């Protein structure tokens, strides 16, 4: 009987390669591997559902304040962004003027 260190093809052909009772820690056994992946996926999905549920509850409890804070952030960051663009344009204009003077 091949060991679990043998090739996957050997495991597929030999039913006794990784008996379930002996395969708890072996990833060779497709059944055990599938069970581990399923358990991990279930836990991840459960956490994602809980996060979604919490988002809904937070929105219900604090939604109006969160929306007002979001609006304030967007307004302030929009002003900051526009200021940055104005600075970039001023520097571009300065360099264009300098190039005209120098090439003049």
Give the pLDDT band (50/70/90) at residue 2.
very low
**What does the block give as tokens for 42?**
């279930």
Distance in angstroms (rounded) separating the CA atoms of residues 66 and 29: 50
Q: Any idea where the domains of the chain sit in the sequence?
A: 8-103
Distance in angstroms (rounded) separating the CA atoms of residues 72 and 20: 59
Whether 83 shows a pLDDT value over 50: the answer reads yes
Name the residue with higher pLDDT: 6 or 62.
62
Give the pLDDT band (50/70/90) at residue 45.
very high
Q: What is the pLDDT of residues 27-36, one digit of tens each?
A: 567 888 888 8
pLDDT for res 3: 46
Helix ranges, the chain (H) = 8-13, 30-103
Mean pLDDT along residues 9-35: 62
Write the CB contacts of 58 (distance below 8 Å, at least 6 apart in sequence).
66
Eight-state DSSP code of residue 24: T
Write the CB contacts of 6 (distance below 8 Å, at least 6 apart in sequence).
17, 28
């Amino acid at each position: 009987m091949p060991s679990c260190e043998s090739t996957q093809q050997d495991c597929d052909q030999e039913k006794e390669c990784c008996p379930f009772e002996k395969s708890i820690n072996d990833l060779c056994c497709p059944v055990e591997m599938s069970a581990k992946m399923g358990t991990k996926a279930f836990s991840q999905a459960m956490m994602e559902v809980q996060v979604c549920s919490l988002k809904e509850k937070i929105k219900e409890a604090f939604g109006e304040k969160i929306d007002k804070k979001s609006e304030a952030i967007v307004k302030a960051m929009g002003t900051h962004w526009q200021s940055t663009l104005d600075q970039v344009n001023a520097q571009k204009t300065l360099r264009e003027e300098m190039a005209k003077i120098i090439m003049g």
